[in-house]
Structures are given as C-alpha cells and as structure tokens.
Structure 1
Amino acid sequence: MGWMQSVFGQIDLHALAAAGHGEAGWIDDFGIVLAAAGVAVAIFYRLRLPVIFGYILAGVLIGPNLFKSPLVQDAAAIQQISELGVIFLLFFIGMEFDLKRLQRVLGPAFVALLLQTVFMLYLAQMLASFLGWNPTSTVFFGSLLAISSSMVTVRVLRTSNRLQDASAQFTVGILILEDVLAVILLVILTGVALTQSFDWDAAWLVTFLMGIFVVMVFVIGRALVPRFLLAVSGDDSDPEVITLVSVGLVMGVSMLALKLNFSPALGAFIAGTLLSQTQVARKVEHINRSLHDVFSAVFFVSVGLQMDPILLLENLPWIALISVLVILGKVSACWLGLCLSGQSGKTSFDAAVPKAQIGEFSFIIAGLGSSLGVMDPQLTGIAFGVALVTILLTPLGTASSGGVYKVFLRLIPESVQTFFDTYQKFMEGLSHGMGRSIILKLVRRPVIQITTYFFVINGIFISASFGSRYFFELSMNWPIEWAWKFIYWVVVALLVSPFLIAVIRNLNAMAFILSDALFNGRSSRPIYQNRIRQMMSAAILGLFLFFVGLVFLIVAAPYLPNTAVAGVAFLIVTAVVVILRSRLILVNSQMEVLFIESFKAEVESKEEQRREEILSMIKNQAPWPVEIVDLTLPQHAAWAGKRIKDLALRPTYGVNVLALGRGYSVVYDPAPEAAVFSGDRLVLTGSRDNLERVRVEMQAQVKPEDRPAPGPSQFRLQQVYVAPNTELDGETLAGARVRQRFGVTVIGIQREDERITNPPPDFLLDAGDVLMIAGLPDKIEAFAESCCEKPLPEAD
C-alpha cells in the first residue's frame, strides 16, 4: 500500500477532477438530468400527480439557482440539448397531422390566434405603465405572452386522452399557427431591438420565404420520403435502420430550417407531415417513442434549471397577477375567436383551456431580449415565473374544464347565450351555403394548385440564385462566364417549365369556369353567345396572367439573372414550351400522381403468409413445454357470438388466447370483451391435454331449434341524420364513444356530395351529415334519439 500512497501523493486530485469536468462536463450534467428525471417520474407517477410538476421541481433542485454547489454546472448546454425535446414533439405532431383536418380548423384557429395575440400585446402595454417598461421591452414581453407551449399542451391532451376530441383539433391548429407566428416574431423583434422601429418589409419577406420553404419541402419530400422509408422498413427490417433514417430525416429538415434562419421546430413539424397518413408513420412513431419521452423530460427539467427561486419570490405578487391575467385572457380570447368563427361554446372552451400557458418559444424570446439588452432581469424573472405558474396550472385547468364551463354559463346572461346560439346557426348556414356553391367547388382546386406552384416556382428561382453565387465564384473570362450563366439559367427555366404550364392550365380552367357562370342561361342565339363567352374567357385569362405575372416579378425580381441572360433564356424556354407542350403536361401530370399517391396506404399481404408469421412469432416467444395451436371456430359453433371472458378459457381449461384472426386482420393479445364468431382463428397456448379439451369444446354445435330465427333482432343498416345542436354536432366519433355506449358502428358518412367510407375516429361531424349505421334496430334507435335527434339540454 505504500507504493500506492506515494504515487497518488504526486497527483492533484482536485485539478484532475476539474480537468475531467472541463472535457466532459456536459455529459456528466446530462446524466444527472436524466437521473433526476427518472426519480421525479417514478415518485410523481406513484403519487398519481402530473409528471410535469416533478420534472420542473427536479430541475430547480439540481439547478444553479438554489444551492451554492449545484449538481448541474452547465445549464446552458442542457438547455440546448433540451431543444431536441421540442423537435421530437413537433415531429410527432406532424406525423399525427391531417391536411384535410387543418383545412377545416384553419379559419377558426387563425381568428382565435389573432384575438389572443392582440389581447396579450394590449396586456403588456397596460402593465408597462405600472412597471416602467420601455416600448421595446413591452413588445418583447407581449410577444412572449402570446405564444403557448406546444410541449405542455400536447402532453396534457395526450395524458387526458383528449387528443382525438373535436376540441383538440382546434387546439392543435392554433398551436401550429403559433409556431409560425413565433418564427416571424423572432425576426421582427430582432429588427425592433436593433432599429427601435417595426419593419413591415422584413415581416412580409420572412413570411413569404417561410411559405416557400414549407411548400418546397412538403411537395418534394412527400413524393419521395414515404417511398424511401417504405423500402427500408420492410417486415424484416431492423429497428435500428428505421430509427436512424427517421431521426436523420427530422434532424436534417430541422437543421435546414435553422440554416435558413427559421425555427428548427418548424422544420421538425414539416418532417413529420412528410410521413403523416402513411403506413410507415405508426412504425416510426412506435420505434422513436422512447427518444421523444427522454428529451421531453430533459426539456421540462431544463425549464426548472432556469428558475431562480429568489427572483421569483421577489416578484411573486406580479407573477401571480400576470399569471391570472394570462390564463383568463388566453382562454377568453381563444374562446371568443372560435365562437366568432361559428364553433359551439363547449368545444371552443375545451379547445382554449389547454393553451392557457407560455412555454418554450417564450423562453427563446426572453433569451433573445436579454442577449440584445432590451429585457432586464426583473422582466425575465417575471416571464419565467409566469411560465412556471401557468404550466403547473394547465393540467388542473384542463381536467376541470367541464365544471368551469358550467359555472361560466351560469354567469353569462341568457341574452348573450341566445345571441351566440343564433350566431352559430347563422355561421353554420353560411358555411353550408358556401359549401354547396358549384363555382366555389370548381374554383377551389385550381386556386390551391396555382398557389402551390407559385411557391414552387419562386423556390426554384431563389434556390438557383443562391446556388449561382457559389457556382460562379471561379474566375473565368467574359465569354466563358457568360456562356455558363446562360446554360445555368436555361436549365433552371426548363425545371420551372412544367410548373409554369400547370399554372397556365389552371388559370385557363378558372377563366372558363367564370365565363361559363356568366353565360349559364339559354339564349335564342347560341352561336353569338358562344363567341362572347370565348372572348370573355380569353379576357379573364389575360387578366389572370397579367396579375400573376406581375406578382411573380415583384417577388422574384431580386433573384432573377441580368436582363440579357434572362431575355435570351426566356425566348429559348418559350420555344421549348411551345414545341414540347404536351410532353411537359405529361411530366407535370406524372409529378401530381406521384404526390397524390403518397397519401394512399398501400398495404399488401396474403392470408397464408400472415398466418405463418403469426405462428412463427408467437412460437419463438413461448417456452417449452407449452404448445401453440391455431384453431378455427366452425360454423354454428356454440361459442360463436360470445366474448372471450365469457368462454373462461384460462380458469376452466388453463389455456391463454394469444391472438385473434378474422379475415385479413389480426389482433394480438385481444381484450376480454372481444367477441368470437364462426370462421375466426384463435391462436391458443397451453398444455397438450388442455388444448385438446378446448378443441373438442369448440366443435360443439348449436341445435337447430336453438338458433335465432331471422327477424327484427338481426343487424341492419340505417341512415341517421345529425340535427343541429345535438351531441354529435361538432364532435368526433372517438369523443362521442359511439360504439362503446350504444353498440353500433358508423360505417360511412354522407356530407353533401362527399361520401366518406369507414371514417377515422377523429373525424369531425357537422349538422346535416347523414350517418350510415350498422347494428341492432333497438340500439340504432337509441343512438339516433340520444345523439342525433335530441337537442343538448341547456345549462342551468
């Protein structure tokens, strides 16, 4: 032992520890954060408390603001790592995103966001007079109050099993628009801090460039990414491949957004939308769920790391007052905005309550203000305190939103309730009237395509403009440089030509629709009328081309080449377009088909192959001497129509049900309430003797006299009309729990001219929808009377 003492005596242990921490300090801190999060989630989960509380408390305890010797030394590094939690959260939201769903909630969400933002800026203005803030600090504080936490809101909705409710659709729609608003605010606030003035030009430019980024990434990525992931994620694919490819996708798009001075969270959301409504989305979500949970926990712990208890206590009265004003203001503004857009009061209130907090983007705005020297520590401390209080109260407010809404209804005068009920019916009638407009239906698709192609064309030119700066940095003499530039921009123009042809064709279709609407009556002189119609159509097309071309030149002028190169390239491309017009139309059509097909799930499987896979997988998991058999329930078996728990296979025979197969679908570990029918395959495990007893019992036939006679008790199909102000009006199928409560199945929905077969659980229903219901007659009648015909009772 003497030699050990002599060796260690020559070493300065404190210096060695300091050096080790300097090289890998953030790794140590990251390990401490994960350990603290693990302890917090274990304790709070055991106490049945929201784990968000535990994460934030753990961050405060290990952070640098409570003890003199904190466990975490580099809180800034942990904060940067925690941004991965926001990225994965937005990636998962994007995968659950439905473009058709956003189209329905976009208008109401925009109105709600507009009122919320105006109210928060006004609130900051009112507080500034009491706290002595300057105008720049006031704008910063109002902006950070306007942005809710996507991380907190979505987690609360998912924890409370409300993510598929009708109200959650509007909540997520507002959150998406808020993320876009936050990116725009970061650019605007930077200019405000530097110039002490509001730059409208910068605001419009960043909004336009963001639109180009979103459209370009979505259109190109949607056509390519799902196919690539489907190719590498076959049934025998290693989860490691899917993990690395999907994480590489989300991080790549996020970093691309960051390089373009956008939010990486916006890039993560766009990356998620590339996989939404595809058959690989659930697999990617399942495999990456652990990454999402880990970095979500790190994010909330990092929030606690930034909390300074002393500063919070010093400003506690202001924090409490502002927190109350933020909660009431956000709930009232979003509630009013959704009601003004025609949504029901209950749905609007349930959508507004989960958003009554500030979060991750608010921290970023506060940090930006601090780095630019426009926010003092007091204001920053108040912002973090308000974030802490509102985040902690969000789960409680969401859980009690139903009771609070009833209290509000008692306080609101009856005349106001009558006004909003009348207004909602008026908006529903206006919406249905516009939905039945033939012209709007015909014009809608060309307008969407023109807008999309407009962004794509500008995106190609802007990308080419930035690329030319690197391509022509080499020193070349004048003729060679001019020739290369000419060839470069001709290639760019040829890439644009299919989209340009598509824009012209859609403009021509719009001109024809409008001119046909002007001359839709019969005339005694049809030849004369047709000539006028053709002239009118040509005039409208010329007007459209002039307007679209003017807007394009105004927007894209800074990114186009010089006049000589642009003029020659335009003439050549025009000749190519005229000569190869039909071929370019074909290319454009093929691109549209490639994009549209990405929304179609292509699930191909064979029954025998699936059966072998089921047996192979389960046999590999079951230990010897237990056997596994696949038994088919025969026709007219006595077990047909009974639930698994009623068969009592485990207590009576000592046999377990591993899987239930019906047709081409298989349910692993089926629920005890699941019923079995003739032709079903039961994958059972147990001893050989017990399995043989079950095989004999399954062969028992029902006597002819015991079989139910055909008649009114048989299942039937019936159409049910959804009346206004009933339970299903503005609700989703999952939220109404139709099958669980009534035992009927909604197999189709007729909405005006649109017919939806097998609607998803989160499909939003409207008054006037006609539901195709399958079930027993008495159950169908009970369902129709309770949910579709009987108006909701008015609150006391």
Structure 2
Amino acid sequence: MTHLPILITDLAIILATAAVTTILFKWLKQPLVLGYIIAGFIVGPYFHVFPTVSETKSIQTWADIGVIFLLFGLGLEFSFKKLIKVGGTAIITAIIEVSATISFGFLAGKLLGWSMMDCIFFGGILGIASTTIIIRAFDELGLKNRKFAGVVMGVLVIEDLVAVLLLVLLSTLAVSSSVEGDKMLIAVVKLGFFLTLWFLSGIFFIPTFFKVVKKMLNNETLLIVAIAFCLGMVYLADLVGFSAALGAFIMGSILAETTEGVKIEHLLAPVKDLFGAIFFVSVGMLIDPAVLVQHPLPILLGTLILLFIKPLFVLIGALLSGQPLRSSLQAGMTLSQIGEFSFIIATLGLSLNVTQSFLYPVAVAISVITSFTTPYMMRLSEPLLQVVEKILPMRLQNSINRYSAAAQSITHVGDFRRLIRSFLMHIIINAVIIVSIVLISLRLLPLFFTQVEKGNIFITCIIFLLSAPFLWALVAKRSDNIAYSTLWQQKRYRGPLIMLATARVLIAVVMIGFICSILFSTVVALFLTGGIITLLIVFSKQLNTFYSKIELRFINNFYEKEQLQQLHEPPKALAPWDAHIAFFEVDADAVIIGQTLEANALREKFGINIAMIERGKTVIVTPTKYTVIYPNDKLTVIGTDEQLKVFRLFMQTEASTIKPSVHKKQQITLKQLMLQPSSKFVDTTIQASHIRELSKGIVVGVERDGERILNPTSSFILKAYDTVWIVGNIARLQILTGERIRKNVKKI
C-alpha cells in the first residue's frame, strides 16, 4: 500500500489543530488570527505534547502562497477610490502616527543595543496596525457606524499603502545593507512609476476584458481568471524587482475597481481563508518559548509603544487634522495593535537574512498581547474621555472644538489650485505612459533586428506611432476646461496660464529629443525632433479624436462600478461634511430655466444642493423646492467632488449651457457648531433655538454619536455634543460660532 505523502499528513495536523483552536477562540470572542498562531505553536517544533509538523519547508511554501492570497484579498478591499476619498484627516493622522511609532520602535531597538537593521525592521513591524483585528472588533462591539470608525478605516487605508512602501524600501535597504538616500529615492520613484503604469493599464484593459468574456464567466471561471491575474502580476512584480506580496496587492486593488470586484472578493474568500490560515499557523510555528524568555524587554517595550505612544500620536494627528476630541481619542485607542503586515515585514527580514532570529517571535508575542487588549482599549475610550474632559481646562476644550469646527467647515476650492492639481496629474500620467512605451520598445524590438541602423529607424517609428496621442495630450490637451476658461477671463491669471502651457511644450520637446538621442546622433536627433513636432501639429485633429476615445474608455471603466450601483440604488442625500461650495451662472439658453428646483430634480440626478440663488440684488438663501430658475441666476451649489464633477460634465453637454460663475466675494458658507453642555441651544428644538433667524440660514444636518441626520425637522431636539451643520450668512455664522467675538477681543 502506498504511503500517504508527509505534506498531506502535515496539512491534516495543521488544519485539525487550527479548527479546534479557532472554534475555541470564536467561543471566547477573540480574533481568529490568534487561534491560528496558537495552533501553529502547538504543532510547531517547540511544543512536543501533540503530533508536530515534519516538513517545515513545504509548509513554508504554502505559507508564501498564503501571503500572496492574503495581500490579494487586502487589495480587493483597498480600492484606489478609497484612497482618494479618505481625505486630509486620514492622511495627516496616518503620517504622524506611523512616523512616530516607527521612530520610537527604532529608538527602543537602539536602547536594547541592536544592530541598525534590527532597529529599522522593529520600527516597521510596530508601525502598521491590523485591519483584520480592528474590523472584527468593530463588528463584535457594534462600533462600525460610529464617527471615529470612519477615521480609523481611512487611516488603515493609508497604512496599507505605507506598508507596501515599507516592503519596497526595506527590501532595498536590506540589499544595500546601508541607508543610502539616492537608492531609497530611486526605489520610491520606481515604485511610483510602476504603480501608476499598472493602475492605468489595468483599469484600461481588465474591465474591457471582462465585458468581452462576460457571457462565458461563471463562478468557477471568474475565480480562475482572477487568480491568474493575481499570479501574473506577482510574476511581473518579481521580474521588475518588487516582492510577490506587492504584486498581489496591486492586482487586488485594480480588480476592486471593476464591476466584478465584489464578486471576486466573495469567491476568493474561502481560498484566502485557507491559505491565510496556513500562513498564520506557520507564524505560530516559529514561536520559541526559550527565545521569548530570553527577550522579555523588547516585548514589553514594543507593547508599551503600541498601547501608549501610538494612541497618543493618533490623538495628536487626528486633533491637528480637525477631528473633535472624542473621535480623536477613540481612534487612538483603536489603532493599538499589529497584525498581518507586521508578520510579512518580519518574514522579509528573516528571508533576506538581515535581522536576528529572535525578532520574529518577539513580533508575534507583541501581536498576541495587543490583539487581546484591542477590545478592552476600545471599551476604555469612553471612560478615559470623561477623565480627560475633567482634567483638561474648559478653555482648552473650547479651543479644540472651535479648531475642529473651523477645520471641517466647507470652503470653496479655488479654480487655480484645481487647475494646478489637474495639470500635474495630466503631466505625470502621460509621461508615465510615454516612458513605459519607450522602455518596452527598447527592450523587446531590438531582438528582431540584426542591422542596428535599420532597427533604430523601425524602433523610432514604432515608439512615436504608439506614443503620439500621449505626446499630443501632453502639449495640447486641457485638463480642466471650466477652470481654465474661468481663470483666463481674469487678467492676473493669464501670465501663469501661459507659463503652464509653455512648460508642457518644453517637457514634450525634451522627451522627444531625449528619445531620439538614445538611438541617433545629436544632429539627426535634432532633425527628427523637429519633424515629429511638425507631424504632431499636422495630425493634431486625428490625435485629439483618438486620445479622447482612449480617455473616455478609461473614465467609463473607472466609474462603471459606481454607475451600475446608481442604477440599482436610490440617490443618496448630500452629506454636508463631505462637500464643498462651487458657483455657477445660468446662461440665457439653459434648459433648466423656467422650471422649479423640484422639476429640475438636480438633487436627485446629481446629489447636489442649491444653497443660495443670487438674482440681481435679490439673494435667496436656502431656496425651497418651488423656487424657479431664471436666466443669469448665480447658483451657489454644495456637493462632493464626485457630484460636482458629474454636474460639470452635465454643464458641458448640449443639454445645458450653465457656466461657472466668478464670485468676487462668497456671501454664504456651511459651518459646523459643536454644542457644549452649557450652550443655550441644548435641549431645545431647532425652531425654538432661533438658529435660522440668528444665522439667516438653515440647519442642514446634525451629527450625534456617529449618526448623521440630514435635513432635520424643525421639531428636532438638539442635545449636548451634537454637531450642527448650518448654511447661512458668513458674518452671522461667525458671530454664532464665536469667531467674530474672538476677533474683536484680539483687536481690543
């Protein structure tokens, strides 16, 4: 009889032990990751009570596959759109707390007398919180819909991106064995280049592929195709010098933007759970109790940094970004553990032989301890807040609340700033595409030619044929027509606009000249540069049409998922805290003229709110649904970036000729008012509070304990610590929120 392979026996032992421990941990309401780690310790080489794993190398290969699927799954949950939407709060908070945690981890290693590489990896291990543990804790404690949970999830998105960057930087650092600024900078630029290229090409080609083969995709084939994409990107990432984990994460992020993203995530869950379990079990197998006994101090220091230092800097970062004291403290108490990315960083150090063997079990021990403490840290946030409010002077608390209200107030995004941002994005995207075409062509095409001169001529033709639309766009394509037209009407902006246009032309000329100089002599390169520029001018109309088709394909693919969701979901009401103000003037030929706001249904179509209508000398603040739109009305519109973008696209169509209005002075704004227990508005209805009369405006939203109530009725009763959002006259709102009073006090 044939003997059963040892690998199958080992897997049977691993999964049986993991099944028992995870059921036990589920019953104890503890994270399942800890159950896997304990199971790994039980079947590992340092615990001999039960049968142990024989072939650790084979299990390690399975664990490597587990890392790939784990990062692929995290990428499917990540989404580049989430990164765009997280906003300043998450970015500021994440940068401050990650930088501080890594620094304190590095200093702790130095105090312990470790080598430079051990200190750096120890800081990296402590810097990234566990998304898995936090999400499960939110579900178990019922905190998912609280306001601070949104801050935490935004920070976790940024931390995931930082972790990817850390993997690249630490790999570069391990290979060079020294901290060299130029190599680190090259690694960051290389990462940015490939991330941009992979994202652009992935969004352009993959959704189109899914459309073509949609009828042939059932659950089985979709799963196989998704895994094939994942492993293909893993191979590609390894080919250009990045880790397999990075490739898996990037492909997951790309697929998350497609219409099949949610389905792929659902289908992949069992595969990810299986291989993820093997990975975490392999983590537990490396726990050596003897090593832990020999190194209790780094475990203690790492735990203290996560339980005290990291929450403190999350608190500081969130406060600086404009969050209230309550949300900032709760977010800090939540982000006090390490998890899957920390294990991957520790594994990287071991695999590259640049860290001591004790660092891995130390990281696991810290993770186990902080995972146990996470639910208790979350529960302690409320009692701790009460203690802090008693200790902090009322004057300081009021200053924090005023700063938070001012930081989160909606402001008008300037046209010039928006144009600069679009300009930079436009240059980067097209430059990356052109450079990638050049690199691929120079790498592959010379293989087909034996004569260098003929080969160079052919390669040059191919390069400029493929890159011509993007070279034309680099020079002539306007990135924001509305902002450009608005600014051009103002003479003081014409000089900067001409400089920007000149800079684009120079960048394109330099790129063309550099490409030609690679293949030909200087004199020939100069003639070729002039000839190519002439051809771009001659065929500009055709290039414009072709580039517009490419751009439209990309935009449709990028927003296809949201468009399908909107078809099946009712339009969401405007959340004032996610929006900003924009101004538009209605042209005399606009189709919306002569109809009421209700008939035009702008809110239902685009999610925007009309906050004010300026009609000659008459100003209509917070118009009703019966207000009629007239020619030359100046509309003050409140909406999110995405909603206003769709509204601008609508304005550019033949169906409407609304044009952006250039306001010399903004007369209304949207501000928030944090109600303190001593406020005269507490325990009164909105009608009885006379906020409308005092602000010459209207209450458009109330936020209470993380719950957001839009357009509350006049009988709604206000409570202490409510955040009240008001649209109204700037001067009156300044008086209402205390800003005008403080300015007068300063003058006195």
TM-score, with structure 2 as normaliser: 0.70
Q: 1:453 corresponds to which residue?
A: 430
Q: 2:560 corresponds to which residue?
A: 600
Equivalent residues of 1:722, 1:789 under 8 A apart: no
Matched, 1:500 2:471: yes
Give 1:411 shift: 4.5
Change (3 A) 1:212 1:438: same
Give the AA of the match of 2:545. Answer: L
Matched, 1:118 2:115: no
CA RMSD of aligned residues (A): 4.5
Greater CA drift, 361-370 or 294-303: 361-370
Give 1:86 shift: 4.3
Q: 1:393 corresponds to which residue?
A: 373
In structure 2, how many angstroms separate the alpha carbons of the residues matched to 1:591 and 1:777? 39
Give the AA of the match of 1:503. Answer: L
Q: 2:446 corresponds to which residue?
A: 472
Change (3 A) 1:789 1:109: closer
Give 1:56 shift: 1.7
Equivalent residues of 1:323, 1:386 under 8 A apart: yes
Equivalent of 1:303 in 271, 279, 283: 283
Q: 2:545 corresponds to which residue?
A: 586
Equivalent of 1:753 in 631, 637, 640: 637
Change (3 A) 1:79 1:389: farther
In the TM superposition, 1:355-374 aligns within 5 A as: 355-370=335-350, 374=354
In structure 2, how many angstroms separate the alpha carbons of the residues matched to 1:306 and 1:382? 10
SS in 2 for 1:307: coil
Q: Which ranges in structure 2 are unaligned for 5 or more consecutive residues?
A: 579-603, 611-635, 644-669, 673-697, 703-708, 726-748
Give 1:328 shift: 1.7
Aligned residues: 614
Q: 1:573 corresponds to which residue?
A: 532
Matched, 1:213 2:187: no
In the TM superposition, 1:172-321 aligns within 5 A as: 172-190=153-171, 192-193=173-174, 197-234=178-215, 237-276=217-256, 278-321=258-301
Change (3 A) 1:758 1:326: closer
Matched, 1:78 2:59: yes
Q: 1:425 corresponds to which residue?
A: 405
Give the AA of the match of 2:225. Answer: V
Q: 2:112 corresponds to which residue?
A: 131
In structure 1, how many angstroms separate the alpha carbons of the residues matched to 2:239 and 2:384? 45
Equivalent residues of 1:66, 1:309 under 8 A apart: no
Cα deviation digits, residues 562-601 of structure 1 (max 9, x gap): 5457556534432331221111111111111111111124
In structure 1, how many angstroms separate the alpha carbons of the residues matched to 2:189 and 2:340? 24
Give 1:196 shift: 5.2
Equivalent residues of 1:212, 1:458 under 8 A apart: no
Change (3 A) 1:534 1:331: closer
In structure 2, how many angstroms separate the alpha carbons of the residues matched to 1:86 and 1:787? 47
Identity, in percent, stands at 26
Q: 2:733 corresponds to which residue?
A: none
Equivalent residues of 1:719, 1:771 under 8 A apart: no
Cα deviation digits, residues 225-267 of structure 1 (max 9, x gap): 2232344444x85311111112222222233223322243333
Matched, 1:462 2:346: no
Matched, 1:39 2:20: yes
Q: 2:501 corresponds to which residue?
A: 541
Give the AA of the match of 2:438. Answer: F
In structure 1, how many angstroms separate the alpha carbons of the residues matched to 2:52 and 2:218? 38
Give the AA of the match of 2:547. Answer: N
Equivalent residues of 1:489, 1:566 under 8 A apart: no
SS in 2 for 1:64: coil
Change (3 A) 1:449 1:348: farther
Give the AA of the match of 1:50. Answer: P
Matched, 1:334 2:314: yes
In structure 1, how many angstroms separate the alpha carbons of the residues matched to 2:66 and 2:671? 36
In structure 2, how many angstroms separate the alpha carbons of the residues matched to 1:402 and 1:392? 19
In structure 2, how many angstroms separate the alpha carbons of the residues matched to 1:147 and 1:568? 53
Change (3 A) 1:241 1:337: same
In structure 2, how many angstroms separate the alpha carbons of the residues matched to 1:496 and 1:747? 36
Give 1:400 shift: 4.8
Cα deviation digits, residues 399-455 of structure 1 (max 9, x gap): 5544444444445444443332232233234xx33x342333444434333332232
Q: 1:53 corresponds to which residue?
A: 34
In structure 1, how many angstroms separate the alpha carbons of the residues matched to 2:723 and 2:101? 40
Give 1:284 shift: 2.1
Cα deviation digits, residues 19-60 of structure 1 (max 9, x gap): x6xxx4444323332222222233333444432332221111
SS in 2 for 1:197: coil
Cα deviation digits, residues 325-357 of structure 1 (max 9, x gap): 223222222232222122233333444444322
Change (3 A) 1:442 1:718: closer
SS in 2 for 1:274: helix
Q: Which ranges in structure 1 are unaligned for 5 or more consecutive residues?
A: 1-7, 9-15, 521-532, 606-663, 667-716, 725-744, 760-764
In structure 1, how many angstroms separate the alpha carbons of the residues matched to 2:193 and 2:517? 14
In structure 2, how many angstroms separate the alpha carbons of the residues matched to 1:769 and 1:95? 38
In the TM superposition, 1:19-30 aligns within 5 A as: 24-30=5-11
Give the AA of the match of 1:324. Answer: L
Give the AA of the match of 2:539. Answer: L
Give the AA of the match of 2:425. Answer: I
Give the AA of the match of 1:472. Answer: P
Give 1:513 shift: 5.8
Equivalent residues of 2:129, 2:337 under 8 A apart: yes
SS in 1 for 2:560: coil
Change (3 A) 1:790 1:120: closer
In structure 2, how many angstroms separate the alpha carbons of the residues matched to 1:151 and 1:788? 31
In structure 2, how many angstroms separate the alpha carbons of the residues matched to 1:183 and 1:396? 29
Equivalent residues of 2:509, 2:529 under 8 A apart: no
Change (3 A) 1:389 1:75: farther
SS in 2 for 1:753: strand
Equivalent residues of 1:187, 1:203 under 8 A apart: no
Q: 1:728 corresponds to which residue?
A: none
SS in 1 for 2:53: coil
In the TM superposition, 1:496-535 aligns within 5 A as: 496-506=467-477, 516=488, 518-519=490-491
Greater CA drift, 100-109 or 489-498: 100-109
Q: 1:609 corresponds to which residue?
A: none
In structure 2, how many angstroms separate the alpha carbons of the residues matched to 1:165 and 1:94? 24
Matched, 1:64 2:45: yes
Equivalent residues of 2:415, 2:487 under 8 A apart: no
Give 1:489 shift: 2.9
**Higher alpha-carbon Rg:** 1
In structure 2, how many angstroms separate the alpha carbons of the residues matched to 1:142 and 1:493? 46
Change (3 A) 1:133 1:49: closer
Q: 1:143 corresponds to which residue?
A: 124
In structure 1, how many angstroms separate the alpha carbons of the residues matched to 2:319 and 2:516? 43
TM-score, with structure 1 as normaliser: 0.66
In structure 1, how many angstroms separate the alpha carbons of the residues matched to 2:136 and 2:517? 43
Equivalent residues of 2:572, 2:607 under 8 A apart: no
In structure 2, how many angstroms separate the alpha carbons of the residues matched to 1:505 and 1:317? 62
Equivalent residues of 1:719, 1:770 under 8 A apart: no
In structure 2, how many angstroms separate the alpha carbons of the residues matched to 1:453 and 1:441? 18
Q: 2:453 corresponds to which residue?
A: 482
